[in-house]
Chain A
Amino acid sequence: MSATEPVATGMPLVSVDDLTRHFRPGRRRSGRVVRAVDGVSLSIERGETLGLVGESGSGKSTLARLLLHLDQPTDGRVVFEGRDVFAASTRELRELRRKMQIVFQDPYASLNRRKTVEQIISFPLVVHEPSLDREARRRRVSELLELVGLRQEHAAAYPRQLSGGQCQRVSIARALALHPSFVVLDEAVSAVDVSIQAQILNLLRELQQRLSLTYLFVTHDLAVVRYMATTVAVMYLGRIVELAPSEVLFNAPRHPYTHALLAAVPPPPGSAPQAPVVLQEADASDTLPSGCRFHPRCPLGHRSICQTADPPLQAAGAGHTVACHFPQSAESLLAETGIG
């Protein structure tokens, strides 16, 4: 099946199967392994926004890059529009890249500082549509600038002349140049001023509707993911620990880590302060804990099964899976441990 044929309805746009990425830093024989992504499976439906949440070290950014084959997997498969991404030839991969794009966190670093905005945005066109002449490219760039809310004068500017928010818009314009169907947003609003963040989120939502885009929204900010995502996956140390539709995850989370994350968010200004969940801080070591990865920090983690057996993802409701031996509601967590 070629990459330009429509995907059969019912098939998810992106399907990830047991994806694994291990790093072996240092000398080969030292045996140190960093299990950045360790057996992740999920699927993203057309038109939805999957939110991927986690703290540093969770592997979410690595996962995002793996989906686009910007990194080498150790194991597993990613199927995009019916095609196996890792098995694709160089040419097939190039074609696939038209349809899947990424916007990074650092607005300035992801733009070539020596190129003008026009050159940056037209780069994908130069690569994939060499038949387009300069005039046609310029028109397309013009369209894209307007689409992302920039002005025509910005085309001649260099990244260093623009603000962070404006640079992110340029990145978004570049990502949209070839009419992709899937866009990965890797902490795309994290490095931007708070008041600009709102503008960019609005823009992303509008673009999603207008252009029928599917998003993978990677972030550490729970409030933003709640706003943007239809489905949310919570990652911890390379694994997905909870996956649920957005409303379900935020109203009725089950995994103790999810509870802790939600409790750690400063409450909305003007509302009552809440007692934070006491969570042991993560140690900077590479050795994964035995059994459940979260057990050393988990308020319930002293139970023997947690220390010996790694819990698989199990169903906890419609479209809701949790990787925990003792999934809890907020009330039961409070009752069990006196916290939450």
Chain B
Amino acid sequence: MSEAIVTVAGDAPVLPRSESVFRRLMRTPSAAIAVVVVLILVIMTFGAPLVSPYSPNVSDFDQLFAPPSWNHLFGTDELGRDLFTRLLYGGRTSLIVAVAATVIAMVVGVAWGFVAAFREGWVGELLMRIADMLMAVPVIFLGLVLVAAFGASLWSLIVILGLLFAPATARLARSTLLVELRSEYYVSAVSVGASGTRIVARELFPNALPVLIARASLILAEAIFVEASLSFVGLGIQPPDTSWGTLLQQGYSNLYRSYSYPLFPGFVILVAVLALNALGDNLQKVLDPSRS
């Protein structure tokens, strides 16, 4: 310790790295259950041929409206088709539509929000006011109007759903980016001489990403719900495709013939939405404690 000039900082230990996001997530019981449920849903719907011996479209006219049994876990429908199998295959459609819509919502919303954050003048204000106006209209109502206008093919449905959720994503993306723009490390990056695009891409965006990912999970939940609602009133997925919403609708119209028919689609929708919401909430808490 006899250095004349003390400049070295080395000797003190460095704090240990804190545990990974995944581990922290799995520690909360609700999050752990949510993750497991979502995984089960995904595996079962996409692994439908392996899970169920039945085909979704084959009728068994001896077993119309059969109640749940070991042969038919969820019973059968009005044409004797196994409901469980139809839910699995229908789930594929629901999930694919929801995921695709979420991707569109994220891409459009993030771009929208980032532009608004950078152009803080009247351009940014205008973009946000448009977002506000769109958000003021109830989602399902707006969805109905758009579907009535543009038709309900699979792709138009995906695009419409994506655009429905874009404004809220834009607001979030903008406020997240604004926080990063006000931070000192951003000014540091500018002082180093980095160009604007490089800074956004390499410094700001990765920091904004976790919050956006957490929100994606919530959007996914809402997408499933809205698709189901639209399909329920006949303006969503069209036959011969099935989704959870169409199955719910069919079950509803046959309510007096089979109590269990609408129960299971409704239950599956409920579980999926709950799980994704729980996952999104917990992800938000874990990834960005300042927002929880």
Contact = CB atoms under 8 A, between A and B. Distances in A.
Pairing of A with B:
yes
A127 B10 contact: no
B190 interface: yes
Interface in A90-126: 93-95, 97-98, 101-102, 104, 106, 109-114, 123-124
A151 B9 CA distance: 8
B267 to A, nearest CB: 40
B194 interface: yes
A289 interface: no
B185 interface: yes
A199 B11 CA distance: 13
A216 to B, nearest CB: 13
B5 A149 contact: no
Contacts of B14: 153-154, 157, 161-162, 166
Given A157-B14, A158-B17, A112 B191 contact: no
Contact of A202 (B6, B192, B193): B6
Q: How large is the interface on B (under 10, 10 to 19, 20 to 34, 35 or more residues)?
A: 20 to 34
A149 B18 CA distance: 25
Task: Tell me which of B9, B198, B203 has the highest count of chain A C-beta atoms within 10 A of its own C-beta.
Answer: B9
A169 interface: yes
Interface in B183-234: 183-185, 187-195, 198, 203, 206-207
Given A94-B193, A160-B15, A150 B207 contact: no
Contacts of B184: 104, 106, 109-110
A206 interface: yes
Contacts of A255: none
Given A112-B207, A161-B14, A149 B8 contact: yes
B240 interface: no
B29 interface: no
B138 interface: no
Given A104-B188, A127-B198, A97 B193 contact: yes
Nearest to A102: B191
A101 B9 contact: no
B10 A151 contact: yes
B133 interface: no
A165 B14 CA distance: 12
B17 A203 contact: no
Chain A interface, DSSP helix/strand/loop, else mixed:
helix
Contacts of B12: 163, 166
A134 interface: no
A166 B187 CA distance: 20
Task: Tell me which of B8, B17, B203 has the highest count of chain A C-beta atoms within 10 A of its own C-beta.
Answer: B8
A123 B191 contact: no
B207 A149 contact: no
B71 interface: no
B201 to A, nearest CB: 12
Interface string B266-288: 00000000000000000000000
B16 interface: yes
B292 interface: no
B16 A161 contact: yes
A174 B16 CA distance: 23
Contacts of A161: 14-17
Interface string A193-228: 000101100110010000000000000000000000
Interface string A156-180: 0110111101100101001000000
A335 interface: no
A126 to B, nearest CB: 8
Nearest to A106: B184
Interface string B1-32: 00001111110101111100000000000000
Contacts of A124: 192-193
A68 interface: yes
Contact of A109 (B7, B10, B15, B183): B183
A153 B190 CA distance: 27
Contacts of B192: 97, 101, 123-124, 127, 174
A68 B7 contact: no
A65 B190 CA distance: 11
Nearest to A153: B14
B284 to A, nearest CB: 17
B14 to A, nearest CB: 5
Given A123-B194, A161-B15, A161-B16, A112 B203 contact: yes
5 contacts: A65-B187, A101-B191, A114-B206, A162-B14, A199-B6
The 9 closest A-B pairs by CB, nearest first: A97-B193, A109-B184, A151-B10, A149-B8, A161-B15, A110-B184, A203-B7, A94-B193, A124-B192
Given A149-B7, A166-B14, 20 more contacts: A68-B191, A94-B195, A97-B193, A98-B193, A102-B191, A106-B184, A112-B203, A149-B8, A149-B9, A151-B10, A153-B14, A154-B10, A157-B14, A158-B17, A161-B15, A161-B16, A162-B15, A169-B9, A174-B192, A196-B9
